[in-house]
Amino acid sequence: MAKIDILGVKINTQSKEEILEKVSKIAADNQKHYIVTPNPEFIVLAQKNKEFAAILNKAALAIPDGIGLVWASRLLYGKRGCKERVAGVDLMTDICRIAPKNDWSVFLLGAKDGIAQKCALNLKEKYGLNVLGTHSGWADSSGDKENRKIIKEKIGQKSCHFIFVAYGAGKQEQWIRRNLEKIPVRVAVGVGGSFDFLSGRVKRAPRLFRDLGLEWLWRLSKEPWRWKRQISLLKFVFLVINKKLKNRP
C-alpha cells in the first residue's frame, strides 16, 4: 500500500475504508504485523529519535491520526496527499465493530487501572466483541516480562488477533517492538488515549470540532496540561513549511 514521506516518516494516504481492507488482510495472513497512528507529536519526536522513526517506518500501516498530517501531506504532495484523517480511536472502533463477523479476538493493554476493563465492557456490550483480556501493566522495559506472562496467561490456548496498546506516543511503539514477537498475538496497534475515550473517562470532541479539524483544541480545553506537548504542533508546522520552501523549484 502506497505511503508518502513526511519529514522522514512514511504515512499511508488511503481512506479509512481502504485501510480497513488492508487490516483485514494482515489479520488473516498468519504473520506478525503492527500498526502505528502518528500525529505531529510523533513526527517531531522522530526527528530527534531515529530509532523511533525506524520503528514507525517498519509498520504495516501508519495512519494519519492528526489533522496536522493531512494538512502537511497536501501541502507537500498536493492530490497525492492523505485522503482523510484516520484517527486511531476510529480505526480501533471499526476493527472492534467488524471483529465478531471476522471471528477476531482482542486484548487491551495499557491506560490507568480499570480503564481497559471499562473499555472492554463497553465494546463487548456494543459490538459483542471477544475480549480475551485486559491489563494496565507497565510501559517501560522493566515490566516486559511480567506483562508478557500476564498476557499469555489471559490468552491461554486461544488465538488472539489484535492487541491494542495504549501507552502514549513513543512508549507504545517501543513496547510493540520489544514484545510483539514474544506474545501469541498477530497484530499490534498503538492507540494512544483511545481507551480513555472508549471507556467514557474522557469525552471526545463533538462531531463539529472533528469535522473542522479542531479535535486537538477540544482536547487542550479538557486537559490543559497538554499545552506543553502541543508546542510540538507549532514545531511541526515550522518544519513542514521549511521543507516545502526548500523543495521549491
List contacts with ligand UDP (CB under 6 A): 110-112, 139, 166-169, 171, 192-193, 195-196
Distance, CA of 156 to CA of 223 (rounded, Å): 38
Beta strand extents in 47-104 (DSSP E only): 61-62
CB of 156 to ligand UDP, least distance (A): 24
Q: Rounded to an integer, what is the distance from CA 249 to the centroid of its chain?
A: 35
Phi-psi region of 128 (alpha: psi -120 to 50; beta: other; left: phi over 0): left
Q: Cβ 85 to ligand UDP, closest distance in Å? A: 14
Helices 40-48 and 67-77: crossing angle in degrees, nearest 10, is 70
Pick the closer one to ligand UDP by CB: 120 or 139. 139
Q: Judged by CB, which is closer to ligand UDP: 19, or 139?
A: 139
C-alpha distances in Å from residue 151, one per residue of 66, 165, 168, 186 = 30, 12, 19, 13
Residues in the chain: 249
The least distance separating ligand UDP from the CB of residue 152, rounded to whole angstroms, comes to 20
Name the closest residue to ligand UDP (Cβ). Answer: 192
- Asked if 120 and 131 count as a contact pair (C-beta separation under 8 A), the reply is yes
What is the smallest separation between the CB atom of 1 and ligand UDP, expressed in angstroms? 23
Shortest CB 11 distance to ligand UDP, Å: 16
Please identify, using beta-carbon distances, which residue of 73 and 174 lies nearer to ligand UDP: 174
Closer of 26 and 166 to ligand UDP (Cβ): 166
| Helix axis angle, 67-77 to 215-222, nearest 10° | 150
Shortest Å, Cβ 235 to ligand UDP: 16
State which residue, 6 or 45, has the beta carbon closest to ligand UDP. Answer: 45
Buried b (16+ CB within 10 A) or exposed e, 40-53: bbbbbbbbeeeebb
Q: Which CB, 62 or 166, lies closer to ligand UDP?
A: 166
